[in-house]
Chains A and B, each alone.
Chain A
């Protein structure tokens, strides 16, 4: 068994420096790597390019990095819930590249799986296609999109083992599996870290080969963005 465990978040982020490109899993605040984000804030690493579907909210998730102006560029599909983000974007302090959500996921998966690029119909005929190669297949138009290149991927899983194998829960899965192995170093934080052999190999979502470092996260807040409920009758 190849051991992937690191002792704490500090060791997990060893080697992260200014101006790097990072991938961060999560959809909204669901399934975000809370511990890694807090450590990035503590280390005050700056001029980051962040690839993440969303940008958190003002006081949680990637919003924490935005508050301290640690992000130079965001690559996202939807950034609607963050006023500080909007302010920095409109004032020109923050460079923002908005791309279709499926394209974002696939650019991660392409990096993970060794494809330099792929064709997708998403965004054809819109400003997303500006400057990109287009091609017709079977009478339909597609645009060429390239795999991401990133230094670190920070993902969050439900359970993991010492070998780096990961299991996700519910919709907290989202972009996390796509980002594993899509950067030079993948760091996984998990709610529950168990010894190798305790997880049934049949139930593994992401094999440890895609993960370089794994650690047990602490004090997960798991904030809910839109608490919607119905009353018991």
Chain B
């Protein structure tokens, strides 16, 4: 089974040289720590920066330089700042190659719900709806089940949707899956996890073809 860093490490293997990448809050943020050697990627934050670097050294924080999670950050050589409309132009215009975000639920058709629990949590969608409506390539990083042990990979989402038919791949603590026309296709098992355990934790249709390899991270 993978922990949050393990999920981030596996997703980092999907990064390709030359990619512009938008990272959501939570597990996706950790992906920046595991960029494979020898490839160049640039991280975009929708509040208006391309070329995000690490957190600043203590005492060097700048209130005017933050990421979408409102954390203080630094920039790397080649970075740029821009306004919010330009930022979402990059996203809507499909100039950002890969979007990695968290989810509360994903359906077997690729619908995603991650912004609202009616009556409980109403914080807003931020940029998530723009991202999922436009990105060509969306990877969801999440736990396979919720705190109550219920599957988050469903036939249909029960929570209000963020976007429809948009998720391409999902990396959970148990598996790497691809969303296909016929449901979730199991591509890899997390280390030490059996196919049966993944079946038990998946409510939506799960496609298992042949031997399922264990992932290398």
Which A residues are closer than 8 A to B by beta carbons? 27-31, 53, 76-81, 86, 89-90, 96, 98-106, 108-109, 120-128, 158, 168-178, 205, 222-232
Chain B residues with CB below 8 A from A171, complex form: 45, 47-49, 64-67, 81
Chain B residues with CB below 8 A from A222, complex form: 63-64
| Distance between Cα atoms of A28 and B127 in the complex (Å) | 13
Chain B residues with CB below 8 A from A28, complex form: 47, 66, 70
B163 within 8 A of A: yes
B84 touches A27 (CB 8 A): yes
Chain B residues with CB below 8 A from A173, complex form: 48, 81-83
Chain A CB within 10 A, most for which of B45, B92, B123: B123
* Additional A-B contact list (4), CB under 8 Å, known A171-B81, A224-B72, A232-B58: A80-B123, A124-B133, A178-B83, A230-B55
Given contacts A78-B126, A126-B160, A171-B47, contact A30 B87 (CB under 8 A): no
A223 touches B63 (CB 8 A): yes
| Least Cβ–Cβ distance between A226 and chain B, in angstroms | 4
| Distance between Cα atoms of A80 and B70 in the complex (Å) | 11
One digit per residue, 1 when the CB lies within 8 angstroms of any chain A CB and 0 when it does not, for chain B 9-22 equals: 00000000000000
| Least Cβ–Cβ distance between B43 and chain A, in angstroms | 13
| Least Cβ–Cβ distance between A183 and chain B, in angstroms | 15
| Distance between Cα atoms of A228 and B46 in the complex (Å) | 18
Chain A residues with CB below 8 A from B62, complex form: 170
A175 touches B133 (CB 8 A): no
B64 touches A31 (CB 8 A): yes
Of A29, A105, A226, A228, the contact of B85 (CB 8 Å cutoff): A105
Of A27, A98, A106, A230, the contact of B88 (CB 8 Å cutoff): A106
Task: Give me 22 A-to-B residue pairs in the complex whose CB atoms sit less than 8 angstroms apart, sorted by A's number.
Answer: A27-B48, A28-B70, A77-B127, A78-B123, A79-B123, A86-B122, A98-B124, A101-B129, A101-B130, A102-B88, A103-B129, A122-B130, A126-B164, A171-B48, A171-B67, A177-B85, A205-B83, A226-B71, A229-B61, A230-B57, A230-B58, A231-B58
| Distance between Cα atoms of A143 and B45 in the complex (Å) | 24
Residue on A with the closest CB to B74? A230
B146 within 8 A of A: no
Given contacts A125-B163, A226-B69, contact A108 B57 (CB under 8 A): no
B58 touches A229 (CB 8 A): yes
| Least Cβ–Cβ distance between A54 and chain B, in angstroms | 9
Chain A residues with CB below 8 A from B130, complex form: 100-103, 120, 122
Chain B residues with CB below 8 A from A89, complex form: 122
